[in-house]
Amino acid sequence: MQRHALHDDERFAFPRALAGSGIRESLSESYSTSTWGKIVDALLEFVTKFAAQLQSPTLAFLLGGILIAALGSRLEIPESIYKFVVFMLLMRVGLEGGMSIREANVADMLLPAFFAVLIGCGIVLIGRFTLALLPSVRTEDGIATAGLFGAVSGSTLAAAIVVMESDGIAYEHWAPALYPFMDIPALVMAIVLASLYLKRKAGSGEKVRIWPIVKESLQGSALSALLLGIALGLVTRPEKVFEGFYDPLFRGLLSVLMLVMGMEAYARLHELKRVAHWYVVYAAIAPIVHGLLAFGLGYIAHVLVGFSPGGVVLLAVIAGSSSDISGPPTLRAGIPTANPSAYVGASTSVGTPVAIAIGIPLYIGLAQAVFGT
């Protein structure tokens, strides 16, 4: 039998191919293991930081309020004191924001402010075509609920600021001034959509007037206090009164506010029994979804204009909040046929506790994982 001589290239082609294949598989396996290891480490780090945030005093007072209300305590905080506490907190936030805007480059605010407007309107539109279309949910009730969740909670914003300052997380001090850029468009959008729906349902061709809605929003107690603080911080020199009065009281007053909100949340749970259970589902999920959407847009602002990680967290917090002070009276006047038990009950009893107890730790932990802060 004749044998053919093998050239050197042919003789070693298979061993080389086998060796090359083994190296590639080994490298691929090593890369895969390394990648999964990094993902697992990142997840563990995030869970650890998230759990640590749940132990903050701010959240403890909120949970304490829920607990004593559930135990049947007769403890009550007068409404006048509650309103005063909210006024003091938002004045402090506004003064600090105004002083920071005075020293800041206004151009840096443009993209975050635009995203705030976009988020406020987007949240209402999402609610209009999800919650408002579900069975057993009246359309105007669904729109009003989306409007309240698109508007901003001053107490949730104040809670986030305290937690972030305790953790040493830096943010632009003008970031709280994004509040009205999200709050007003959301309320206006909700009232306009509800009015268009109701007029179309009734066959009326009457136009919807925008300015009265904006005026009602601006005259709300929470937004008025915040805008007053911003104006005073912007055009005056309130540093001494800020440092000597408003700032030292901030944390103590916030603890009182969290206690009241915890008791209020439990007390309003019975209101949700009168409306569709879809409101509970929406109120539990929407704050996190809205906050994560805002976090994504905030990340884009971070990449494009250098928006700080702390600023991204605050944008997510205000997006995940639902108005507890100025929103309800504005919606009650703008959409009188909507049922307050639906939108106020969903916001106060479920939405706000979720936004504070879960949302704030979640966004801070996410920021620490994404930005390495």
Q: Where are the domains of the chain?
A: 77-371
Q: Are 56 and 166 in contact (CB under 8 A)?
A: yes
Looking at residue 23, what is its pLDDT?
53
Decide: residue 177, CB within 10 A, 0-12 exposed, 13-18 middle, 19+ buried.
buried
Within 13 Å and on the Cβ side, how many CA atoms surround 242?
A: 20
Percent of the chain whose pLDDT exceeds 70: 82
Distance of CA 269 to the CA centre of its chain: 22
Distances (CA, A) of 349 to 39, 55, 87, 226: 35, 21, 22, 24
Looking at residue 174, what is its pLDDT?
87
Choose the weakest-confidence range: 79-83, 145-149, 317-321: 79-83
Please list, in sequence order, all residues whose beta carbon lies within 8 angstroms of the beta carbon of residue 292, skipping any fewer than 6 positions away: 316
Q: Domain 77-371 adopts which CATH fold?
A: Na+/H+ antiporter like fold (1.20.1530)
205-243 per-position pLDDT tens digit: 667 677 776 777 677 777 788 789 889 988 999 989 999
34-81 per-position pLDDT tens digit: 667 666 776 676 676 666 655 667 677 878 888 898 898 888 888 888
Please list, in sequence order, all residues whose beta carbon lies within 8 angstroms of the beta carbon of residue 108, skipping any fewer than 6 positions away: 172, 305, 306, 307
Please list, in sequence order, all residues whose beta carbon lies within 8 angstroms of the beta carbon of residue 180, skipping any fewer than 6 positions away: 223, 226, 227
Looking at residue 182, what is its pLDDT?
93
| In the predicted structure, residue 1 carries a pLDDT above the cut 60 | no
Q: Which residues of 5-39 are buried (b: 16+ CB within 10 A; e: fewer)?
A: eeeeeeeeeeeeeeeeeeeeeeeeeeeeeeeeeee
Decide: residue 329, CB within 10 A, 0-12 exposed, 13-18 middle, 19+ buried.
middle
CA-based radius of gyration for the chain:
26
Q: Which residue has the higher pLDDT, 173 or 115?
A: 115
Q: Are 238 and 95 in contact (CB under 8 A)?
A: yes
Within 13 Å and on the Cβ side, how many CA atoms surround 262?
A: 23
277-312 per-position pLDDT tens digit: 899 999 999 999 999 999 999 999 999 999 999 999
Question: Which pTM does this prediction carry?
Answer: 0.75
Please list, in sequence order, all residues whose beta carbon lies within 8 angstroms of the beta carbon of residue 323, skipping any fewer than 6 positions away: 148, 151, 152, 153, 183, 187, 222, 347
208 backbone dihedrals φ, ψ, rounded to 5°: -90, 125
Choose the weakest-confidence range: 40-54, 99-113, 322-336: 40-54
Q: Which residue has the tokens 């603890």?
A: 255
Task: List the structure tokens of 253.
Answer: 């007053």
Please list, in sequence order, all residues whose beta carbon lies within 8 angstroms of the beta carbon of residue 134, skipping any fewer than 6 positions away: 142, 276, 278
Residues found in the chain = 373
What is the mean predicted confidence (pLDDT) over 158-164? 87
What is the mean predicted confidence (pLDDT) over 316-336? 84
Q: Helices marked H in the chain — which ranges? A: 8-11, 13-53, 57-70, 79-103, 107-128, 139-150, 154-166, 179-202, 211-218, 221-235, 239-241, 247-267, 269-272, 278-305, 309-320, 327-334, 340-345, 352-354, 360-371
